[in-house]
Structure 1
């Protein structure tokens, strides 16, 4: 209920007092009653009469918020921030208005549907017997000068005419300049097929045309030629003197008062006269579905000093040039010109390297030698797949340095959608954007992984202890081999459990740094050490495990051939076992690791060897392939060859020593199987780290735990549990249980013939049983 109020109403008319109830505004929804007492005073010429107070009941209606339905974009438009972003061929609030000339025949040529202001090229091509085979015979521009889109008169190419001919005719001031300009435009309509020499000639021709006394039609043809050349990727030609001269000429020509707005897909040039008393000039280029420049998306306000960005954040570039009071004059106009490049192909930097394939739009503003200006700009950052913006630099092109410079410019992080720059002069401007890759970090180990690795650690630890305690019962080389295998694998397993997760994950938010030119468009966090150290140790001990397993099998093979291992083989075994993995790791680090870019060697998501490119594809140039997989493949090939030789050698052993042959075969096959289990388990472990699908992660985790548990238990069973010493103690402990009986193995002597010699082997069965 609304509170009561008292109103004093005065009637100053000559008519008798009358009371008119207040009008009622109907705003449908909630109705509220208000009780009002009115005291009326009559100041007219009629006798005063006293009217008792009248109670008036007013009915108020309060409206509910009106819901505005969202825009429905048609013709392929996309709704972004409440605004329809239209394809090039459409315009309007909902992309319902056509912005093109329909496909039609003009003269004897057929032209496709073409955006207003752009050129269409004929379907008819020059024949194969000419120098211009495959090039369109004619070009025509879509115009809108009459209020209805239409094609203008076609410009026809003389098939066989080359850029060399055109350059010669222009230099000799012979021929029709419009025809030569149009011919150059048509010849460069397929820029991907242009050679470096032709690109340079086309740039030189356009520069010569710009420096001539040309008409609007010639100027448009030359601008279109440059727009097409911006699609080329010949880096050497973009750094030529002709390109530098061309950009200077365009900047100077843009402020010519007799040139109107010219917009082509990759380049626009706009000239304007600005009143002398203006507070500023506001230039805006709006985005489209394809990112091309279209005339109806270019806006110029010659009396504005504020950045507006009122198109729902859909602007590519916005610039305001503010005139200080000392520059204002009612009697003097200013000529101003803008040139906007779709990319920076004509501004190749030596200090800044683009590794992500990104490009930067370049905006030139020219007011001649005018000084004392304040220039504010907004740039929309380019979206990069699997990366986010980390930092940027506001720069201008310095023709003395022939590179970007931050002189006279500063930056402000305006918002997530725009990058704001301030400069005190006009020239070619750009923003150099730095992106940080979006990493998905591996999940923490769960109890299944911890349990599996723990069981493997226990088995390896027991094996090491047992081999050291019982070392006197076997050859020293055998103890060395077994302990080395177990130690290497044990350290690797512990590192995998405790250190494979990156302790310095790149999770902090990007910070806007000072306005300095970055060296690259990729941000890489400098190495802090621990993660790389873990990756180095993991690579070393995993390679060491494979190496020692192979050495174990090799020594057993040598024992078969020579009965006892030569003494010098022990030294060689130590050098190879611990030295070969160190050599491989050292080469890997030397080739791929840099302190300022550790991701050339390891991954950011976890402390393991780098394997994938930024798009998530396996990269054969990274250390995971040649620093681990290739050495492991060679080890497996060597083991396979050794297995074949072993099988052939055991076939020649005396048939009376079958038990020896059996024990040796079991030991050798056990060593070979360890290598296979190692390979399978840690391949699954790597897949486990890079898998983000929950179902696949669970399945891989189960198999990984089974294999890691198996490898520890397998080593324990092969080298500890089935030894004579272990069986003897187990038998003693279980004698009280009648249902258990484990036969004891006794030391025996064997002899077998090797060539013409009879060789006596003592305790050979026990020696191999201890394996």
Structure 2
């Protein structure tokens, strides 16, 4: 049923309304409705608008001429302000004053308006008899998440906290009256205020980093001491997280923050968190949650096989390059060995250390002490090994790509300047850049994102690698995986790709050996370009394609290709830069030639059987010479 229409002045702003109320000019009811209309879209309000609207509502609730319609309009305005953005409600004094006014308003308005229910705010005023043992206020969970009048219950003669086992109780508070109240033959006024969230209670001691909100309930019985107040709060459900701990707190207007003074934990269950306090004010439960991590599975056989072959191939390549360095004066031994060393370290660490040795598999155990948590997200302090592995993995892989880029630069200079050897001082520069640049990037990444009490700003918990995803599982561009690895590697891969194209085009035009025959030309073109692509690590481009692909089939193909090509990169380097070299071919040929010919004597015998007769046995021997050689 709708009330009578009200004529409003649409040209008024919140500042105009505040001025009219302060000067006691204008109709309070019209001003209250105008304020309600102007705050109906709270997400568009600025911080100044929020402050002005809070001051208007504060003045309306304190007015001596307040009516039920004015009270409802003011409470509706406050309910709408609770939907404003957190940035807009940073100003503390105006909303702090408003919460104090709401407490007094709930205590004094039992004869005017006993219950006002809005989606984000409930104000209940009631008088109880002196012989009452206590009072119970309950808000049941609704389907929409908003407060509705038929789910707000009040029991004026009970002292027991009754939890609904079905989890339907959202918030419940019970005030058990002390004996001193029974001795006085007077009725008592009690007020309750229930807030949908804690936007008006901005804490410095408690940080809400995961976007959670907390219900706040206020109980006011005036200046009465020795109270027994029990509360029940339904635990907040956070996606992919479990309740780690909670604290029963009350708002301290002197400190302008939450405090555990006078409150303690009673117990906890899936149906609710129980608290006890010895006074009345604004109460809440501050909950901290620990993420439920899905730890990485054991490496599959493709990865293990590929990495194992790469480790063997890289070890042989490093040994070969060092042993034969004097006979290959024109080959970039330092560059290739450095590439292999970095890639070998990365592969070994990946196989042996990428799995987190300290998994958080146990269920969190709620502490008995009522200690205010610093945040709604609990993160274990760093234990060391997993972070150390992540640092070494980042350094070795960045080092691999840095040396790849230096190798590409060397090839470019050799072709452009037609040099048979490296330019002067080139080796010294490459050593400084190849080992120093990755160290600088890793140091910056650690300095910006790593904290001992929050190591997950730098690395992941599921396995020992750079942090990449937010708690909801979405890729986060603010985390170091993006700016500490993907960005620098992307620039190096782009440079290496350009150098590969330059190498292929230039070599095809100028190398006379590539034009002898069509078959030889195509073979050498392919092998030269493929060898350079392998040592430059261009197969890692598939990893970037995996990040942007949306097709499931293409994702599977790219995933398998990326896994096979990257895990066997060390084996590919061994085949192309060691096994196919002329030195190895000559060594193999000499080894085969050194095998002496083998003399194999063949023995034959012939026998005949005749009944009653004997026949002479004939035997012969043949010498077979076999010559094994390889041409």
**Aligned twin of 2:427:** 570
Q: Tell whether 2:73 aligns with 1:235.
A: no
How much has 1:318 moved relative to structure 2?
Answer: 0.7
How much has 1:330 moved relative to structure 2?
Answer: 5.6
Q: Structure 1 regions of 5+ residues with no counterpart?
A: 1-149, 744-771
Which of 579, 586, 589 is the equivalent residue of 1:731? Answer: 589
Closer, same or farther: CA 596–739 of 1 in aligned 2, 3 Å? farther
Note if contact 2:172-2:231 (Cα within 8 Å) is conserved in structure 1. yes
**Aligned twin of 2:455:** 598
Q: Which is further off, 395-404 or 168-177?
A: 168-177
**Aligned twin of 1:721:** 579
Q: Tell whether 2:316 aligns with 1:462.
A: yes
CA distance in 2, matches of 1:709, 1:654: 33
Note if contact 2:468-2:481 (Cα within 8 Å) is conserved in structure 1. yes
Aligned length: 588
Closer, same or farther: CA 457–317 of 1 in aligned 2, 3 Å? same
CA distance in 2, matches of 1:360, 1:656: 76
Q: Tell whether 2:22 aligns with 1:171.
A: yes
Query: Secondary structure of the equivalent of 2:469?
Result: coil
**Aligned twin of 1:365:** 219
**Aligned twin of 1:440:** 294
How much has 1:171 moved relative to structure 2?
Answer: 2.2
1:12-58 Cα offsets, whole Å, 9 max, x none, are xxxxxxxxxxxxxxxxxxxxxxxxxxxxxxxxxxxxxxxxxxxxxxx
How much has 1:719 moved relative to structure 2?
Answer: 1.8
**Aligned twin of 2:601:** none
CA distance in 2, matches of 1:179, 1:708: 72
CA distance in 2, matches of 1:648, 1:334: 94
1:388-440 Cα offsets, whole Å, 9 max, x none, are 22221111111111111111111244202311111111000111121222221
Closer, same or farther: CA 212–353 of 1 in aligned 2, 3 Å? same
Q: Which is further off, 446-455 or 287-296?
A: 446-455
Which of 354, 360, 364 is the equivalent residue of 1:510? Answer: 364
How much has 1:503 moved relative to structure 2?
Answer: 1.0
The 5 A counterparts of 1:688-707 are 703=561, 706-707=564-565
1:67-120 Cα offsets, whole Å, 9 max, x none, are xxxxxxxxxxxxxxxxxxxxxxxxxxxxxxxxxxxxxxxxxxxxxxxxxxxxxx
Q: TM-score, normalised by structure 1?
A: 0.71
Closer, same or farther: CA 676–235 of 1 in aligned 2, 3 Å? closer
Q: Tell whether 2:365 aligns with 1:490.
A: no
**Aligned twin of 1:521:** 376
Q: Which is further off, 326-335 or 569-578?
A: 326-335
Q: TM-score, normalised by structure 2?
A: 0.86
**Aligned twin of 2:620:** none
Note if contact 2:86-2:199 (Cα within 8 Å) is conserved in structure 1. no
Query: Secondary structure of the equivalent of 1:316?
Result: strand
CA distance in 1, matches of 2:587, 2:341: 25
Root-mean-square deviation over aligned CA pairs: 3.0
**Aligned twin of 2:11:** 160
Q: Tell whether 2:98 aligns with 1:246.
A: yes
Note if contact 1:343-1:360 (Cα within 8 Å) is conserved in structure 2. yes
How much has 1:237 moved relative to structure 2?
Answer: 4.4
Q: Which is further off, 337-346 or 159-168?
A: 159-168
Query: Secondary structure of the equivalent of 2:483?
Result: helix
Note if contact 2:287-2:376 (Cα within 8 Å) is conserved in structure 1. yes
1:121-140 Cα offsets, whole Å, 9 max, x none, are xxxxxxxxxxxxxxxxxxxx
1:168-219 Cα offsets, whole Å, 9 max, x none, are 3322323332232223223322323333333222221211111112222222
Higher relative contact order (CA 8 A, sep 6+): 2
CA distance in 2, matches of 1:238, 1:278: 41
Note if contact 1:284-1:317 (Cα within 8 Å) is conserved in structure 2. yes
Which of 432, 449, 473 is the equivalent residue of 1:616? Answer: 473
**Aligned twin of 2:611:** none
Closer, same or farther: CA 440–311 of 1 in aligned 2, 3 Å? closer
CA distance in 2, matches of 1:656, 1:702: 36
Note if contact 1:449-1:704 (Cα within 8 Å) is conserved in structure 2. no
CA distance in 1, matches of 2:449, 2:103: 44
**Aligned twin of 2:170:** 316
Note if contact 2:342-2:400 (Cα within 8 Å) is conserved in structure 1. yes
Closer, same or farther: CA 445–709 of 1 in aligned 2, 3 Å? closer
Query: Secondary structure of the equivalent of 1:151?
Result: coil
How much has 1:598 moved relative to structure 2?
Answer: 1.1
Closer, same or farther: CA 741–613 of 1 in aligned 2, 3 Å? farther
